[in-house]
Structures are given as C-alpha cells and as structure tokens.
C-alpha cells in the first residue's frame, strides 16, 4: 500500500460500560435525537434492503411494524 501512496491505520476500540453512560443518559432523557431519513413499512422490507444497499440512503433507514 505504501508503494501506491496509501497510508492505512488499524484501529480497534472496545467501549466499556462507563464509555456508554453519557450516550445512554442522553438517549433516555430524549436529548439525543437521531433523524430517520427514510421509513419503510415491514411489508416493504425488500425495497428497504434495496435502498440500503444502493448507496442512496442518507442517515438512518427505519422499518416500522405498526
């Protein structure tokens, strides 16, 4: 890779319970919001899969059951 001018770094991180405390508190309090960009009903799961693998979904893709 170096011969082609590519620099690579191997990075591995294992979150601890302590690392996840703040994000969990934010999610529980409602302060952490994640916008769903595309929502599909469960009956359209094949279309949801196609959208997710086509590279055209920005943000989160949500499949609803209700």
Low-confidence ranges of the chain (pLDDT < 50): none
pLDDT of residue 36: 66
Secondary structure (3-state) at 8: coil
HSE (side-chain half, CA atoms, 13 Å) at 38: 17
pLDDT of residue 31: 93
**What is the b/e burial string over 43-52, where b = at least 16 CB atoms within 10 angstroms of the residue's CB?**
eeeeebeeee
pTM beyond cutoff 0.75: no
Secondary structure (3-state) at 44: helix
């Amino acid at each position: 890779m170096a011969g082609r001018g590519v620099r690579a770094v191997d990075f591995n991180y294992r979150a601890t319970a302590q690392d996840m405390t703040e994000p969990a508190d934010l999610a529980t309090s409602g302060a952490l919001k994640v916008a769903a960009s595309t929502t599909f009903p469960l009956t359209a799961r094949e279309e949801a899969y196609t959208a997710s693998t086509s590279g055209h979904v920005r943000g989160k893709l949500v499949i609803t059951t209700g």
